[in-house]
Every structure is written in structure tokens, then in C-alpha cells.
Amino acid sequence: MAKPRGDLYVVTYATVVCMLCGLLLATTASVLKKPQEYNKEIDRKTNVLKAFGVPIKDADGRRIKAPAVEQQFAEHIEEIRVDEATGRVVEPGATVSNALSLYLWKENGEVTKYAFPISGKGLWSTIKGYLALGRDLSTIEGVTFYEHGETPGLGGEIETDWFQANFKGKKVFRDGQRARLEVVKGKVADKYPAGNEHAVDGISGATLTGNGITRFINADLDKYEKYFSLIRRN
């Protein structure tokens, strides 16, 4: 008959097992960290491309691969930072407390579109996305909402192509002034029978999500207005 193990043995055994499990988990996390960070970066770049109007799915409806995303970025996009207070471009390496990220789309070396991150509270969550403006700094080229926790089938519809397509062609500048963009309750045609180039259709049953989008898109547009006003003067 085997001699019973003492308490010291049990404690030592449990300690060793815990240490080995901890080491295994730490090693696994370390190995996975770089791929996870890379995938997150590719997702960010993919959504910037989508805001610029670049198709992010191939002919078979599959999302484009990382190499294609990287190539588009390398060929067309320059990332800069601008000082919210002055509108001036922040030099690389400079420290500015209120620097804003901005993406410039270039064709043959000339900037033709501008995109920037947008985010704010919806109904249940913080919504994150990107918005792109055309050369006139008024016409929306595209928008994408890629991260949120809104209700599936209601506010969650903000991630669908049909909702995001409503923003394309809308204006955020009128008669020399910033024009307020609005996500209406219901249809634009019902609220504005004569039409409204600053309003987009809302989502049925998701009025509060739409109100949140209205607030934070306009707030983020205002953050970049000093930079855009400098461009308009040139």
C-alpha cells in the first residue's frame, strides 16, 4: 500500500503546476501578440480604405487580403497629424497634446481626399469609424463604422453597407460655414420634402443611436475645421 502524501507535497505539486500553466499562458500570449497587433493594424487600414471609397471585397465577396491593403496604403495614403488648436501640421516626432490623426489620399502626388477617425457614444456603446471628405472639403466621400456594441438588427445596422452609403455625397459645408450633418428619425424625404443635402436616412427603431452619430460626427468635423480652413485659403 502506497504511503499517503504529506501536505508539503500537495502544496509543492500545486505550486509547480500553477507555475507551469502560468508560463505556458504567458508564452502563448507573447507568441500571439504580434499577429493580433498586425491584424488590428490591417483592420484599421481596411476601414480607412473603405471610407475613401476603395472596395474592400473582391468579386466573390471576400474581404481583400492584407498585402492588397498594404499596397493601397503605400501607393495612395499619407498619414499625418494636425494640431487641433492651430490647424497646423505637426512635424514627425513633435509632441502635441491635442494632435489629430489625418489621412491624405493622393493621386499622382496630389491630395484629392481627406479621412479622419470619428467616435462617440451611441445608445449602448462607443462607436468608432472613419469619415472621408473630397477635394472640396465639403462632400462626404464615404464613412465606415467598424466597432460598436449597439443592438443587433437595430442600432447595429450602422455597420451595414446600405446605411453607410447614405452618407456619400452629403455636404458638411455651406455658404462659407460648417453645415451640421444630421441623421434624421425616419426618412429624409419625410422630414425635408424639398430635400436636404446635409441629412441622411435614419434606422428604424434606432433613433438614439442616430442621435449619437449626429453629435459625434459634427463634433469631430469641428475638431478638424481649423486645418481645413487653412487648406481652403490656399
pLDDT, tens digit, for every residue of 80-102? 999 999 999 999 888 888 899 99
- In the 3-class helix/strand/coil scheme, how is 2-24 assigned residue by residue? CCCCCHHHHHHHHHHHHHHHHHH
Read off the DSSP letter of residue 68: H
CA proximity to 199, closest of 183, 222, 216: 183
Beta-carbon contacts of 144 under 8 Å, excluding residues fewer than 6 positions away, are: 47, 50, 51, 129, 130, 164
Burial 142-153 (b: 16+ CB within 10 A, else e): bbbbbebebbee
Strands (E), 29-170: 77-83, 89-90, 99-107, 110-121, 126-133, 140-147
State which H helix or E strand residue 207 sits in.
helix 207-233
Q: How confident is the model at residue 184 (pLDDT cuts 50, 70, 90)?
A: very high
- The C-alpha angle 148, 149, 153, rounded to 5 degrees, equals 100
pLDDT digits (tens, 9 = 90+) for 64-80: 899 999 999 999 999 99
**Which of 214, 218, 212 lies closest to 188 in space, CA to CA?**
214
For the chain, how long is the longest CA-to-CA vector?
95
Q: Which tops the pLDDT comparison, 183 or 28? A: 183
Mean pLDDT along residues 109-130: 94
Ramachandran assignment for 195, one of left (phi > 0), alpha (psi -120 to 50 degrees), beta (any other): left
pTM: 0.82
pLDDT of amino acid 25? 66
Average pLDDT over residues 112-131: 95
What's the rounded Cα separation, in Å, for the pair 72 and 74? 6
In DSSP notation, 158-204 reads GGSHHHHHTTTT-BSEETTEEPPPEE-SS-HHHH-TT--TTEE---T
Helix, strand or coil for residue 53? coil
Least confident range of 59-63, 134-138, 218-222: 59-63
Separation of alpha carbons 23 and 30, rounded Å: 11
Residue 176 has pLDDT above 90, yes or no: no
